[in-house]
Amino acid sequence: MPASERRRTAPRRPRYTARTADKFELYQLAVQSPEADLAFVARHYRRERGREPLHLREDFCGTALLSATWVKGRKDRTAEGFDLDGKTLAWGRAHNLAPLGAAAQRVTLHRRDVRERGDRPADIRLAQNFSWSVFKTRAELGGYFRRARQGLAAGGLFALDIYGGTEATEELEEQRRIEGGFTYVWEQARFLPGTNDYTCHIHFRFRDGSRMRHAFTYEWRLWSVPEVRELLHEAGFRDVRAYFEQSNQDDEGSGVYRRDDSGVTCRNCAGWVAYLLAFR
């Protein structure tokens, strides 16, 4: 995800080095903000439905940080996470679920493709950090959206984030200092204009000069907002809304998202992030 667009705060931590740091911990500190993300989607669900969302499905859950944060928030909440990577899920079980104690029993992690069925219909289903871009054709992405809709409870909300901007197709490297003592580097290594296929990496750099190269690599397609909206509608979602992140005075992401279906508020900036909220 573009470094300039995701601003996170993190508690002070001991100094990290490439030898001692854990790449999953660095990833969570650098690019995830579970409380803010969950508050945003829950607020919109409540506003639309007039009731509390209780069952969350986290697609591409990785370390399941959102699922863990969700069940911590209320005793009547449950969550299911889906990811193909057993090692990442195991890290999440040990570091995000185990500390929850009994509440961890309200989270079920599935080592399965996101297109597979869950245990029960979700009130809110999330596909965060652009992970759905792994689907590179209309048939694949549309198929995923159809299954996402089918897996929602009546009136459920499917939320995904998307990014773009004039720099989105450039081969570039952006870096951002993370509080706690390391630098997060987002590299758009290769972009193919004929297919919109691109290869991105996350690297980390440390104060002692050491580096962790290619901590994470993604092979994605860069999709546009109108393409994704159309596919969501074709998949049967009746109402699809776009919320663009607003810039602060320094022209950085503020963490505040405003309803803006045309994207006029981002003034065609170099890099933007938006949420798409699709109601069943």
Q: What are phi and psi of 274, to 5 degrees?
A: -140, 155
Taking the complex as a whole, the smallest distance from the CB of residue 141 to ligand SAM amounts, in Å, to 11
Nearer to ligand SAM, 17 or 199 (CB): 199
User: CB–CB of 123/56 below 8 Å?
Assistant: yes
User: Binding to ligand SAM by residue 128, rule CB under 6 A?
Assistant: yes
The beta strands (E) that lie in the chain are given as: 55-59, 78-82, 107-110, 122-127, 152-164, 172-178, 182-192, 197-206, 211-221, 239-247, 253-259, 272-279
Q: Does 88 bind ligand SAM (CB under 6 A)?
A: yes
Min dist. Cβ of residue 34 to ligand SAM (A): 9
User: Per the structure block, which two tokens stand in for 158?
Assistant: 């499917």
**Residues 6 or more apart from 182 whose CB is under 8 A from it?**
16, 21, 26, 30, 204, 205, 206, 207
**Angstrom distance (rounded) from CA 95 to CA 25:** 9
Nearer to ligand SAM, 35 or 264 (CB): 35
Are 162 and 2 in contact by the 8 Å Cβ rule? The answer is no
Stretch that binds ligand SAM, among 84-92, 207-215, 251-259, 264-272 (CB under 6 A): 84-92
- 202 binds ligand SAM per the rule CB under 6 A: no
Q: Which of 36, 84, 98, 256 binds ligand SAM (CB under 6 A)?
A: 84
Query: How big is the site for ligand SAM, counted in residues (CB under 6 A)?
Result: 16
The residue among 273, 274, 175, 253 whose CA lies nearest residue 8 is 253
Among residues 156, 165, 147, which one has the least CA distance to residue 231?
Answer: 147
Using the rule CB under 6 A, give the single segment among 17-25, 48-56, 57-65, 148-156 that binds ligand SAM: 57-65
Regarding 68 and contact with ligand SAM (CB under 6 A), the answer is: no
CB of 249 to ligand SAM, least distance (A): 28
Candidate ranges 9-17, 39-47, 77-85, 262-270; the one touching ligand SAM (CB under 6 A):
77-85
Smallest gap, in angstroms, from Cβ of residue 111 to ligand SAM? 9
Residues that bind ligand SAM (CB under 6 A): 31-32, 60-62, 82-85, 88, 113-114, 128-129, 131, 134
